């Protein structure tokens, strides 16, 4: 899983123009800035806090009210460089109103923003600190508040605690949010997640005005060593306490027998074959020995290797016995205990997992599994138990990111070892195409006859999106580079209809004949870059699809798990749809049905497989986990969300299955990458159905089981009721 680029990155790239400068005791500098095009990049040094945001960055619509800061390396941000920013878009450009006062700790601040049809104003503690002329066009009808984006959590020596949010429109719509007072939490726990993010519908009609008011407090964040250690020897937060927290090693052995009692009441259903095929279905296909898809009435169905219809419900990352790991280098002091690096404990250690030279990583669940199952058989027993659990809980099998032999999975293939031209290989180069085939064949050949492979995929999410910047980088390559030449040919033939002079003017080159187009340094306009991007992407996806199918024509090809809205534009959905058997996609949401998603799915009219979704509980910040973009308050609520989402997906004519991310929780201190004196590096969410201490989340898994066993029935009923 990756965290999507977000519009709030805007503040990182602004180019100031003459604006408003205010003087006085507050020494507040405010300015209005306009930004043009941005490169979509993630910056580890960004620190952001969203008071309220309802925007569509690429479409230049909406607004957001943020506190923003920037640092280098692991040096903490300070209030001296903290900026208050109101971003407003009018459909053509973004404008930014910025104030940078002398902030003080332990006092409340009140911010007001007025977003009107002809101007915007920013107020701080009753003083107008910035204003800007210009219009406003509403963004998406969803608003996020009191949130630190996962990509914008660079270290800081302060914490922001939002207390209130008040929203009003000129047409009388209003919303008031009061956020939980976490002052009673120990500071050592509060430092993991001081915010309580909220997301809710906020639909503003065009031409309306919006008023936003927030109240917040800036508090000093203690140095880590003042409160260390934070993590106990079992990987839990030392400052947290809850029913079910492991306090002694003897509890692991007790858990084995108590879980046996629980699982005895939820045996694997006999209604399903080993691949998740529904044996009680009113119809059956001829067995092919592999998964395939069929359409009955308007509904697509997966068909299991034994011929039974299947709505696939999967679990990603089984059994996760040694992953995820958390970085250790530079912050050993935050851990109460770390295992030795020798003997059986050696398996709990790793290094440089993310391709960075960032040192040691450790895996606490591996240590707990050793304690629970013994030094000799812990990995084997954890794997067997993981498979047994998901079968008892009604899952069809595994999913992405690994699964044991003998259980269904969706392997993600890699192009590691294939030279890249920019971010991706040059598929116009015959030598590169040959290398791609060799690399993929090594990964596929051993499992060509394996019925437990649901389908192949290559890469994941944004990694496989072809960006406009990548096209510019390719055009800057030497003139004989095959991809560069192919794109020049395409532009000459298809965009400029073989007119050298027109193309030369458009690409800012002095060329009188076609041969000159290959030699000169081109500067194509943005509309041409987008056309070339689509041309290259189409050929790239086609090459991968045909290569996989030539190696293994019997298994399905699922694309690259395109992440909805984490792309250059929605054309990327159409591009991959042309070059796969089933569109594998990832989407994290509280509502399965969304108008644009439904429109694209209906338009491409191909079966889709939901590769990742999750609604992790945040426990109101009382266990140390972060709050994800979509999250539940408790395990039971997460189970109710799961039920609703699976039911809606099962009733969707195009969706053939859904897979939960993931089997086990992420580490409280983050899965990285990173090193140094910082409490959390990377994602640290309670995605799992099993904790770091190998305890199932029973309120969640009981509801999951009910939904899993009902999913095929829901789909069958929807199919039967469908008009042919």
- CA–chain centroid gap for 172, Å, is 35
Helix, strand, or coil (residue 610): strand
Query: How far is the CA of 176 from the CAs of 143, 162, 163, 212, 324, in angstroms?
Result: 13, 13, 11, 10, 39
Query: What is the share, in percent, of the chain residues with pLDDT greater than 70?
Result: 94
Long-range contacts of 183-188 (CB under 8 A, 24+ apart): 185/621, 185/622, 186/239, 187/222, 187/227, 187/239, 188/227, 188/230, 188/237, 188/238, 188/239
Encode pLDDT of 116-134 as tens digits: 999 999 999 999 999 999 9
Please report the pLDDT score of residue 180 as a whole number: 84
Beta strands 397-398 and 312-315 are parallel
HSE-up of 345 (CA within 13 Å, CB side)? 11
Query: How far is the CA of 231 from the CAs of 234, 239, 338, 684, in angstroms?
Result: 8, 8, 10, 13
CATH number of 251-277+311-410+558-721: 3.20.20.80
d(CA 572, CA 466): 8
Please report the pLDDT score of residue 44 as a whole number: 59
- Judged by phi (left if over 0) then psi (alpha if -120 to 50, else beta), residue 292 lies in beta
DSSP 128: E
Encode pLDDT of 33-56 as tens digits: 333 323 333 345 899 999 999 998
d(CA 355, CA 351): 9
Query: What is the share, in percent, of the chain residues with pLDDT greater than 90?
Result: 84
What would the DSSP string read from start to end of 212-228?
EEEEEEEEEPPPHHHH-
End-to-end CA distance of the chain: 37
Is the separation of the CB atoms in 98 and 69 below 8 Å? Answer: no
Per-residue burial over 711-722, b if 16 or more Cβ lie within 10 Å, else e, is bbebbbebbeee
d(CA 612, CA 610): 6
Please report the pLDDT score of residue 723 as a whole number: 74
Encode pLDDT of 214-273 as tens digits: 999 999 999 999 999 999 999 999 999 999 999 999 999 999 999 999 999 999 999 999
Q: Where are the beta strands (DSSP E) in 574-646?
A: 583-586, 608-613
d(CA 77, CA 410): 42
Rounded to the nearest 5°, which phi and psi values hold at 590?
A: -95, -15
Q: Where are the beta strands (DSSP E) in 221-337?
A: 292-296, 299-303, 309-310, 312-315, 326-327
Residue 20 has pLDDT above 80, yes or no: no
Residue 9 has pLDDT above 80, yes or no: no
Adjacent-strand bridge partners of 96? 33, 87
For the segment 304-310, the average pLDDT, to the nearest whole number, is: 98
Give counts: helices (H), strands (E), the chain. Answer: 15, 29
d(CA 209, CA 552): 57
Residue 27 has pLDDT above 50, yes or no: no
For the segment 490-495, the average pLDDT, to the nearest whole number, is: 96
Where are the alpha helices (H) located in 160-277, listed in sequence order?
187-190, 224-227, 250-264
Is the separation of the CB atoms in 304 and 310 below 8 Å? Answer: yes
Is the separation of the CB atoms in 687 and 616 below 8 Å? Answer: yes
Is the separation of the CB atoms in 194 and 216 below 8 Å? Answer: no
Query: Model-level pTM?
Result: 0.88
Where are the alpha helices (H) located in 48-183, listed in sequence order?
none
Is the separation of the CB atoms in 661 and 613 below 8 Å? Answer: yes
Please report the pLDDT score of residue 11 as a whole number: 27
Q: What rounded mean pLDDT belongs to the chain?
A: 91
Is the separation of the CB atoms in 409 and 403 below 8 Å? Answer: yes
Residue 620 has pLDDT above 70, yes or no: yes
Question: Which of 1.10.3470, 3.30.70, 2.160.20, 2.60.120 would CATH assign to domain 7-222?
Answer: 2.60.120
Residue 7 has pLDDT above 90, yes or no: no
Q: Which residue has the tokens 């047994």?
A: 388
Is the separation of the CB atoms in 645 and 635 below 8 Å? Answer: no
Q: How confident is the model at residue 597 (pLDDT cuts 50, 70, 90)?
A: very high
Q: Which residue has the tokens 């209906």?
A: 602
- Judged by phi (left if over 0) then psi (alpha if -120 to 50, else beta), residue 359 lies in left
Please report the pLDDT score of residue 33 as a whole number: 36
Is the separation of the CB atoms in 472 and 487 below 8 Å? Answer: no
Helix, strand, or coil (residue 190): helix
DSSP 626: P
What would the DSSP string read from start to end of 463-498?
GGPPPHHHHHHHHTS-TT-HHHHHHHHHIIIIISTT
Q: Domain residues of the chain, as ranges? A: 7-222, 251-277+311-410+558-721, 430-557
Encode pLDDT of 51-95 as tens digits: 999 998 877 899 999 999 999 877 899 999 999 999 999 999 999
Please report the pLDDT score of residue 1 as a whole number: 55
Radius of gyration for the alpha carbons in the chain, expressed in angstroms and rounded: 27
Is the separation of the CB atoms in 77 and 69 below 8 Å? Answer: yes
Residue 5 has pLDDT above 90, yes or no: no
Query: How far is the CA of 672 from the CAs of 229, 355, 400, 475, in angstroms?
Result: 19, 11, 20, 34
């Amino acid at each position: 899983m990756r965290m999507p680029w977000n519009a709030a990155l805007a503040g990182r790239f602004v180019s100031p123009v003459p604006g408003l400068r205010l003087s006085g005791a507050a020494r507040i500098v405010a300015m209005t800035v306009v930004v043009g095009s941005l490169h979509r990049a993630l910056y580890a040094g960004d620190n952001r806090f969203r008071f309220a945001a309802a925007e569509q960055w690429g479409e230049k619509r909406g607004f957001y009210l943020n506190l923003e800061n920037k640092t280098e390396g692991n040096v903490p941000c300070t209030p001296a460089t903290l900026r208050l920013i109101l971003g407003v878009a009018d459909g053509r450009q973004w404008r930014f109103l910025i104030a940078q006062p002398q902030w003080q700790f332990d006092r409340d601040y009140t911010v007001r923003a007025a977003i009107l049809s002809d101007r915007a104003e920013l107020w701080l503690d009753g003083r107008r600190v910035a204003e800007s002329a210009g219009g406003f066009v509403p963004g998406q009808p969803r608003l996020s508040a009191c949130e630190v984006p996962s990509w914008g959590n660079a270290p800081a020596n302060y914490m922001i605690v939002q207390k209130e949010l008040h929203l009003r429109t000129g047409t009388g719509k209003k919303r008031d949010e009061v956020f939980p007072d976490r002052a009673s939490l120990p500071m050592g726990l509060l430092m993991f997640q001081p915010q309580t993010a909220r997301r809710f519908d906020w639909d503003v009609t065009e031409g309306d005005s919006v008023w936003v008011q927030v109240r917040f407090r800036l508090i000093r964040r203690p140095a880590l060593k003042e409160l260390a250690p934070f993590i106990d020897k079992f990987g839990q937060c030392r400052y947290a306490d809850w029913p079910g927290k492991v306090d002694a090693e003897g509890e692991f052995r007790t858990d084995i027998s108590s879980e046996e009692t629980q699982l005895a009441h939820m045996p694997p259903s006999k209604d399903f074959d080993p691949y998740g095929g529904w044996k009680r279905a009113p119809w059956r296909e001829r067995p092919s020995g592999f998964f395939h898809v069929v359409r009955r009435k308007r509904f697509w169905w997966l068909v299991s290797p034994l011929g039974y219809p299947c709505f696939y419900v999967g679990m990603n990352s089984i059994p996760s016995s040694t992953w995820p790991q958390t970085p250790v280098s530079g912050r050993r002091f935050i851990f109460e205990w770390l295992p030795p690096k020798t003997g059986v404990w050696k398996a709990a250690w790793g290094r440089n997992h993310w391709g960075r030279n960032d040192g040691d990583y450790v895996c606490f669940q591996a240590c707990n599994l050793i304690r629970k199952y013994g030094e000799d058989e812990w990995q084997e027993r954890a794997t067997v138990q993981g498979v047994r659990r998901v079968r008892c809980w009604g899952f069809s099998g595994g999913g992405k990111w690994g699964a044991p032999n003998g259980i269904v999975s969706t392997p993600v293939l890699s192009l590691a070892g294939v030279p890249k031209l920019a971010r991706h290989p040059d598929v116009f180069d015959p030598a590169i195409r040959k290398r791609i085939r060799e690399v993929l064949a090594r990964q596929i050949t051993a499992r060509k006859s394996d019925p437990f492979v649901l389908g192949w995929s290559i890469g994941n999410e944004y990694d496989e999106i072809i960006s406009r910047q990548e096209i510019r980088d390719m055009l800057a390559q030497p003139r004989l580079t095959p991809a560069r030449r192919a794109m020049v040919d395409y532009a000459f033939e298809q965009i400029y209809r073989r007119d050298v002079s027109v193309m030369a003017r458009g690409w800012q080159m002095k060329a009188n004949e076609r041969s000159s187009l290959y030699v000169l340094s081109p500067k194509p306009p943005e509309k041409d870059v987008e056309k070339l991007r689509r041309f290259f992407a189409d050929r790239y996806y086609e090459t991968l699809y045909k290569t996989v199918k030539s190696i293994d024509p019997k298994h399905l090809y699922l694309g690259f798990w395109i992440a909805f809205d984490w792309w250059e534009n929605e054309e990327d959905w159409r591009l991959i749809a042309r070059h796969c058997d089933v569109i594998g996609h990832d989407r994290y949401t509280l509502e399965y049905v969304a108008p644009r998603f439904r429109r694209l799915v209906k338009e491409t009219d191909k079966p889709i497989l939901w590769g990742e979704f999750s609604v992790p509980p945040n426990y109101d910040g009382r266990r140390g986990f972060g709050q994800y973009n979509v999250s539940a308050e408790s395990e039971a609520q997460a189970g109710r969300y799961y039920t609703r989402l699976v039911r809606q997906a099962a009733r969707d004519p195009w969706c053939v299955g859904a897979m939960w991310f993931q089997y086990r929780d992420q580490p409280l201190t983050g899965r990285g990458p990173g090193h140094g004196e910082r409490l959390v590096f990377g994602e640290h969410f309670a995605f799992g159905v099993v904790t770091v201490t190998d305890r199932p989340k029973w309120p969640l898994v009981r509801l999951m089981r009910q939904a899993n066993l009902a999913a095929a029935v829901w789909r069958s009923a929807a199919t039967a009721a469908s008009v042919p």
